[in-house]
Amino acid sequence: MPEFRIVDAGEVKLRCAIEGEGPLVVLVHGFPESWFSWRHQLKPIAEAGFTACAIDVRGYGGSDKPHPVEAYAMRHLTADVVGVADALQPGRPAILVGHDWGAPIVWNTALTRPDRIAAVAGLSVPYMGVPSRPFTEVFDALFTQRNRFFYQAYFQKVGPPEAEAEADVRGFLRKFYYSISGDAPEGSWPQKPADATLLEGLRDPHPFPAWLSEEDLDYYVAEFEQSGFRGPINRYRNHESDFAWLQGWADKKIEQPALYIGGTKDPAATGFGRVADPVAAMKPFVRDLKGGHMLEGCGHWTQQERPQEVTDLLVDWLKAL
């Protein structure tokens, strides 16, 4: 197991899982995960000569869990990442790696704090530039107005999504993880009306795919049974404030050396069907894209479904910086 340390990031205290010595690599997870989603990458990154630090994002696990919705705006989450970097490696820019929501967090940290970030890698979610409108407007037009369910629209209602997830944490995680994994057959993320709930129509596979063992799932379940889901879901309730904040960088590109890794079966990689080629779509917005990789048949949980491939790509990129 890594060393666990509570780090004062400025606004909040975050639990960090740390291995190794050398230039700092901060690993940022997505929803609904924890530092543990980087369990396969921590040791190899450390052995490659780096300090590998996987954080629990605010609201998760052993980190602080502010109550207000607005506490989970992107400007706060990017500040948390910079705060960890300042605490663990003062005076020297850090390297960032993020998956799912962690990818927009690290992309936007690199964009808005180029003085503190030396290089950046994103898994699953490509960087598509500063948005021209809030994402709520996008999914309202594509889904809600067409009476189609979209999970981020469902997450806008404070209370019901948390209650649904917390009623059976294990069942929720099994169904959610499986439904957008590379192992799920076509139709596992069902089409349903806008007023449906998240779990309606999702399958609970038996057995679960081998990339997530029962012991792995036990860890996640214990984390969410103690933390709840309010903080994690609050992230989705800040699209308008994120849009307004990022307009200050509307004419900027990410300048640092960058890497992208996605899966061909990951709906987040294609912007839920809006992006044909994520790697090509990134190039106008990322000046120094050192590599873009789409893993054939991989679903959303990139570094867990394909741990060796992802680790090798990350370590090769880190060593070349």
State the distance between the two ends of the chain, measured CA to CA, in whole angstroms.
27
* Residue type at 22 in one-letter notation: G
Match 């999504």 to its residue by tokens.
161
* CA proximity to 83, closest of 19, 26, 17, 23: 26
Residue 192: DSSP 8-state: -
Name the phi and psi angles at 296, rounded to 5. -60, 125
Respond yes or no: is residue 67 known to be catalytic. Answer: no
User: Where does the chain show beta strands of DSSP type E?
Assistant: 3-8, 13-19, 24-28, 51-55, 94-99, 117-123, 254-263, 286-295
Respond yes or no: is residue 300 known to be catalytic. Answer: yes
Q: How far apart are CA 76 and CA 227, in angstroms?
A: 19
Q: Judge contact between 249 and 110, C-beta under 8 A.
A: no
Q: Is 225 exposed, middle or buried (0-12, 13-18, 19+ CB in 10 A)?
A: exposed
* CA proximity to 200, closest of 232, 160, 157, 156: 160
Name the catalytic one among 29, 99, 239, 300.
Answer: 300
- C-alpha radius of gyration, the chain, whole number: 18
Q: Who contacts 54 (Cβ-Cβ below 8 Å, separation ≥6)?
A: 2, 16, 17, 18, 27, 29, 35, 36, 37, 38, 41, 42
Name the catalytic one among 56, 100, 242, 266.
Answer: 100
Catalytic residues: 100, 300
